[in-house]
Structure 1
Amino acid sequence: MLLRFLLSTVLWLAWPAWADTVWLNNGDRLSGEILLLDGGKLALKTKYAGRVLIDWKDIDTLRSDKPLMLRRVGLDSESSEGLQAAGPGLVTVVGSGNETVPLASISRLVPPRPLLKDRLWEGNLDAKLDLERNEDSTDEFKIKGNTRVEHGRWRHVLNGQLEHETKNDEEKEDNWELEYDLDRFFTDHWFWRTGYEQEEDQFENINRQRILGTGPGYRFWDDELGRLDLIGQVNRVRLDSPQGELAFDTWSLEWDYKRQLWGTRLEFYSTAELQVPQIDEIDYVFDSEAGLRYRLNDWARLSLLYELDQLRGLGNTYSEQRYLIGLGVGW
């Protein structure tokens, strides 16, 4: 009995002191951590039932001692130092001047993204391992990752992947690619991007590809729930093969989209780039991917990725599709 009491005490003390409280219209009270309000659902993380979703219309009032970003009628984004319980259907927004507002006027609540001093850092790393032991022995692994650091008016974006496959101890795939982009924001939406990309493949006719590009971009939004960027660039492409070298210019259009769903437990993302080379042999090159990441805990993800690469030239269209199911980490 004493051991159980001590364990309960330790667990209670370990529970965050800033636990939030939600009062429901039926008189019930729930304690935990507010994760997100979006789409009329409040996601609350509790120590006794995990993550629960509550209809916003069923909440009488609530309290939170941590900072939250709000979206209210007539206000796209508002910072608060916390929330205080008020009368039925009301809540007090704590800030430079406390203001009591109707719950019905609030359409979104999200904690501010963590900052490293004045920097914002986020990223993902997904991995797939496929081992087959039947008539043939095949080992395949693929790692994809991306990260971005934003500070002031600058943003650094790094993407990369590594793929390796052997069949009966004979190499079949061995390639990697790495891309670095540097963005300079002139307004909250407009920026200029300069980037470099390199790919190496030991089993393709073109065993090295290098791209240097620059051009304007527009950020439609980038917040705790997701982002959408659109970038146009002019690029210089250099291809190396055993037959020789080829260099040419291209025009490109790229998008980067991400959206948190289901109380931030599910993430949908999509990136794509369309390049139009300034040579007669190739009409266009289209590289795209779309995927879902399911949050297992604060850092682990279960990922499902679909990739489509397409090239059209000399009257023919060549397409390659790939699927990636695996585990990953996010931050």
Structure 2
Amino acid sequence: MLSRIVGIKWVVVSAWMVSLGLLSLSAEADEVRLKNGDVITGKVLRKLDEKVVFKTSYAGDIQITWSEIETIKTDEPLAVTLTDRTNIKTPIESNEAGKATIQLAQQEQQENSEAQTKEIPLSDLMYINATPELSGVGVNWSGRINLGGSITQGNTDTTTLRLDGESIARTLNHRLTVAAVVNRATSDGYNTQFNNRSSIKLDRFISKKWYVYANNTLENDKFRDIKLRTMTGVGSGYQVYERPDLNLFIEGGLNYVTVNYYDAENESYPGARWAVKYDQRILGGNTQFFHEHEVLLGLDSASNALAFTKTGLRFPIIENFNASIQYNLDWAGQPAEGRKSVDSALIFGLGYSWQ
């Protein structure tokens, strides 16, 4: 009998402790109340444009339309950007429909006094936990580096190596892009491919979508007789999309092209430039499709035309590592004497990306 009573007590105590744990978890959860009366608990991850990403234990990450929210409450301070571009770190509390109370000063900055608070319309909360290019605070560094190659031995000894990388620094008003690619190949001890290409481009955003840019590209290709080709110019662009899952910009401008050849006569000419860069997450968001092309058309002669394209897919492996397959095509309207107009390559590689 005594053991039964003790057992019942343990069951009661255990149930009481579990209830306290559940209440504690509930109390620590962020809460969103919609205009239709639904209440969602979980964690506010971010707000970009008119969508809030909310993490729930039962449905994962969900998106909620901001205009459908009646009240919102967060337990922890979040990085908030207001419509007047003020950036603060504050918890959010809604005591009235369509309004929010925020802290205008942090507790540690006002010793022995309470932080100042202010009630504002929910519509004044422009971003929550936004990236630097949206909030204007800090720099968002992203990029990737890829390595590919092969070694064969036997009747023919061949070695190929390709290394390429890109790094992008993004702030509210600027974007700096630096990229480089190196290709090497040998066959029976003789070089069969030897080229390098590097570029730098600085964008200055004059609105949310429009920007002006300055660019410079250096290229060397021994087997196309190019000792050094320099392309320098300015222009403008339009950022159609700029999101983690979708990016697209279109730009055009003027470039001045200078080419120093190993054997042929050097040349230089003005040109018009057109470029597109596009990438999008597909197949559930794990695989990335990408396409880039750049076209330069000589203003002195239509035959002085150049085109560079690459199209491919990146597949995730583990964490930030990925595998890729891409098709590159370079075309020159007037190549050096004895050289072909088209160079193409199907490339397989392994890469690492960061963001």
- Taking structure 1 as the reference length, the TM-score comes to 0.68
1:328 positional shift: 0.5
Give the Å deviation of 1:162. Answer: 0.5
1:141-192 residue CA offsets vs partner (Å, 9 max, x unmatched): 0011111111120110111101111111222222211100000000000000
Equivalents in 1 of 2:322, 2:57: separation in Å? 34
Displacement, 1:284?
2.8
1:131 to 2:151 alignment: yes
* C-alpha distance in structure 1 between counterparts of 2:143 and 2:326, whole Å: 16
1:209 corresponds in structure 2 to 229
Q: Which residue of 1 aligns with 2:178?
A: 158
Backbone CA RMSD of aligned residues: 3.5
- What's the counterpart of residue 346 of structure 2? 323
What is the aligned partner in structure 2 of residue 18 from structure 1?
none
Change (3 A) 1:90 1:261: closer
SS of 1:144's equivalent?
strand
The answer to whether the aligner puts 1:255 opposite 2:276 as a matched pair is yes
Q: 1:320 to 1:64 in 2, by over 3 A?
A: farther
Alpha-carbon distance in structure 2 between the residues aligned to 1:306 and 1:277: 25
Structure 2 matches for 1:190-209, cutoff 5 A?
190-209=210-229
SS at match of 1:203: helix
Quote the offset at 1:287 in angstroms.
1.0
* Residues 228 and 257 in structure 1, CA contact (< 8 A), matched pair in contact too: yes
Quick one: distance in 1 between partners of 2:349 and 2:132? 26
Contact 1:180/1:196, CA 8 A, preserved across alignment: yes
In structure 2, the residue matched to 1:77 is: 50
1:243 aligns with 2:264: yes
How far 1:304 sits from its partner (Å)? 0.6
- Listed as ranges, the matches of 1:1-331 within 5 Å are 64-69=42-47, 77-79=50-52, 94=72, 96=92, 118-241=138-261, 242-280=263-301, 282=303, 284-313=305-334, 318-331=341-354
Deviation for aligned residue 1:68 = 3.3
Stretch moving more, 112-121 or 161-170 = 112-121
SS of the residue 2:319 aligns to = coil
Question: What residue identity is the alignment partner of 1:222?
Answer: E
- How many percent identity over aligned positions? 17
Q: Which has the higher helix share?
A: 2
Q: Is the 8 A contact 2:238 2:250 kept in 1?
A: yes
Q: How much does 1:201 deviate?
A: 2.2
8 Å contact kept, 1:113–1:224: no
Computing the radius of gyration from Cα coordinates, the structure with the larger value is: 2
More strand by share: 1
The 1:259/1:90 distance shift into structure 2, 3 A limit, reads: closer
Deviates more, 1:271-280 or 1:180-189: 271-280
Cα distance in 1 between the residues matched to 2:53 and 2:190:
59
What letter matches 1:78 in structure 2? K
The one-character-per-residue Cα deviations of 1:193-239 (angstroms, maximum 9, x if unpaired) are 10111012233322210010100110011012121010101000000
Say whether the 8 Å CA contact 1:68–1:82 is kept in structure 2.
no
The residue type equivalent to 1:200 in the other structure is N
Cα distance between partner residues in 1 of 2:63 and 2:297:
55
Give ranges in structure 1 of 5+ residues lacking alignment. 1-59, 71-75, 101-110
Unaligned runs of 5+ in 2: 1-37, 74-91, 99-128
Q: Is the 8 A contact 1:80 1:94 kept in 2?
A: no
Rounded to whole Å, the distance in 2 between the matches of 1:66 and 1:123 is 27
Give 1:129 deviation, angstroms. 1.2
Residue 79 of structure 1 deviates from its aligned partner by 4.2
Q: Secondary structure at the match of 2:155?
A: coil
**Residues 171 and 260 (structure 1), Cα distance of their counterparts in 2 relative to 1, 3 Å cut:** same
Distance 1:323 1:113, change over 3 A: farther
Q: Which amino acid aligns with 1:162?
A: V
AA aligned opposite 1:301: N
Distance in 2 (alpha carbons) for counterparts of 1:132 and 1:264: 36
Change (3 A) 1:232 1:97: farther
Counterpart CA distance in 1 for 2:63 and 2:255 is 54
Any idea what the Cα deviations from partners look like across 1:115-147, whole Å, max 9, x if unmatched? Answer: 896211111111111112232100000011111
